[in-house]
Structure 1
C-alpha cells in the first residue's frame, strides 16, 4: 500500500481549509494539498496539480467530497483519469467512491456527482443573476463584490522588486489577483 495524499479546497480566502485538512489527516493523509478558488475550473489549481504529480503506483489521492475536486463532470473525470494513469487510486470519502480503473460503477458515481456539481453551479449563478436583476429593478447600482485587494499594496511590493508569487504569498491572495491588480 502506498501513501495517501489529501486534497482540500475552499472557494474564497475568508473560508478556512483547516477543518478539511484535519479530517483528511484523520483519514490517513500524510500530507494535504489545498487550493483556494472556485471548483468551476482546473485552471490555477497548483496544489491539485502538485498532488497528482507526486502520486506513485499504489498511492491514493483522497478528497472529502467530489465538489472539493471539481464542480464539472469533465473536470472530475479528467482528475480521475490522471490519477489512474499514474497507477494510483482516487478516493472520495463522502459519498464513498474509490476509482482505480477497475470498477465501472465508481466511474458512473463520479459522473453523477460531477453532474450534480454542475447543476449546483448553474443554480448558484441563476440565484445571483436574479439578485442582481432585483437590485437593478429597485434602482440600486450593482457594482459587484467590494474589492478585497489593495492595488496600492500590490504595486508597492512590485516596486520593491518582488515577483508575483511572493506578492501573492505576502498578501495571501492568488497570483492571478496580483496580475489583475498590476494591470488595472
Structure 2
C-alpha cells in the first residue's frame, strides 16, 4: 500500500472506514491496511457480500455511526456499490447530512475545497438518471397507447411520485413507510412502483 497517496483528511469529527469484499475467498487485508494508514478511528466491514446487495450490515452500521462533521473513508468507490445510481444517491445523502467522503484510490476528498465539487457532480448525475427514467417511462407509455396495447388498470402512483419518493428514501434517508404514508399508499405499493420504474433500493 506504500504506492498509494493518502490525502490529509481534516475533519472536526471521526474518520469512519468501510471495507467490503464480495466473495469469501477475497482478502480484506489490503483495504484494512489502507484505512488504518488513513488513520480511521473506526472501521466497519462486510465479508462475502456483493456490492449490489441491498442489505449490508457493515455499511448499515457505518452509516448509522456517521454524524455531521465525520468522514466516510473507503479504499475504492466500488466498495460502496457497483451501481452508479446507488453511489450518486448515497453521496448526495452524505453531503446533505454534512458528512465528508474520501476514496483513497481515486483521490476523492470532500474535506478539501476542490473535493466539494464531487458532491455537486454526483447530485447532477443522480438527477440526470431520474430524468432519463422519467422520459423513458413517458415515451414508453405513449408508444404503448399508440399501438393500442392494454395498459391494465391505472397505477396508484405516477412516475413523478415514484421518482420523488425514491429520492427521499435514498438521498434524504426517510423510510419507505414514511414516504408511503405521505403519498397515501401502502408500503407494498410504493415498493412495486420503484420496481416498475427500475429503481433499485439500497440505503
TM range (shorter): 0.5 to 0.7
- Contact 1:10-1:35 at 8 Å conserved across structures: yes
* TM-score (normalizing by structure 2): 0.49
Give the structure 2 partner of residue 5 of structure 1: 16
Q: Does 1:29 align with 2:40?
A: yes
Structure 1 residue 49 displacement after superposition: 1.2
> Cα RMSD between the aligned structures?
2.6
* TM-score (normalizing by structure 1): 0.53
* Count of residues in Structure 1 that have an aligned counterpart in Structure 2: 111
Give the structure 2 partner of residue 103 of structure 1: 116
- Contact 2:19-2:32 at 8 Å conserved across structures: yes
Query: How far apart, CA to CA, are the structure 1 residues paired with 2:60 and 2:105?
Result: 22
Match of 1:47 among 58, 69, 74: 58
The structure whose RCO (Cα within 8 Å, separation 6+) is larger is: 2
- Could you tell me which runs of 5 or more consecutive residues in structure 2 were left unpaired when the two chains were aligned: 1-11, 126-203
Structure 1 residue 85 displacement after superposition: 3.1
- Could you tell me which runs of 5 or more consecutive residues in structure 1 were left unpaired when the two chains were aligned: 112-184
Q: Does 1:62 align with 2:76?
A: no
Structure 1 residue 107 displacement after superposition: 4.3
Structure 1 residue 40 displacement after superposition: 2.2
Report the secondary structure of 1:91's partner residue.
Answer: strand
Query: How far apart, CA to CA, are the structure 2 residues paired with 1:39 and 1:66?
Result: 11
Report the secondary structure of 1:103's partner residue.
Answer: helix
